[in-house]
Structure 1
Amino acid sequence: VDGRASLVVGTHTHQPTADHQILNGGTAYLSDAGMCGDYDSSLGMDKEEPLNRFLSKVPKGRFEAASGPATLCGIGVDISDRTGLAEKIAPFRRGPRLEETAPSFWS
């Protein structure tokens, strides 16, 4: 899709990658934007029940959302009005668990 899409971004491992780039055809790319939520959790859930299920193989309760401070991860992209393709790309992170950053072209 390089040159036909403005942005291709994935998320699966829940840990932001540092491979943001603009591909040769003008498509902005990032492998993993990272998780949005409480990083002191199990994929956003309170750690107790997922850990219990992993260790005992028996569910004892329901998954409950983690209630700690959230981290927001994403990507900023500046897209050309003329071509619809990316001109700039930079990571965005806010919250207490990861180093905070924002695209310089947002200011």
Structure 2
Amino acid sequence: RSLARDVLVESGYTVLEAANSEEAVRMCQEHDSPISLLLSDVVMPKVSGPELARRLVGLRPDLIVLYMSGYTADAIVQHGVLEPGTAFIEKPFTPAGLTGKVRDVLDAAGCLAGARSA
């Protein structure tokens, strides 16, 4: 988690880091500025990444979701965890791979090129 945060901060993104799903929901409720992207692991303790995303998108319908996992995208889709075509990056990833994927996902969603909030 800290590697992803550091890479994104160094690339100019504003990052809100939550230690768990409850904290993520609270931050989403309390943060006054827009939140462009949720970067979440697919498999987490207590609440899965997709369940967390459903909760946060319920609070912020424009939120874009990018999942990450040590499992391959094919394995995750085959087990019904994610829908085909869901934004996904496989771990381990390089700093350039992460920033490139974040930019691609934001660009595909039509976020402003100058707005960097992840």
TM-score normalised by length of structure 1: 0.25
Larger radius of gyration: 1
Higher strand share: 1
User: Greater RCO between the two (CA within 8 Å, min separation 6)?
Assistant: 2
Higher helix share: 2
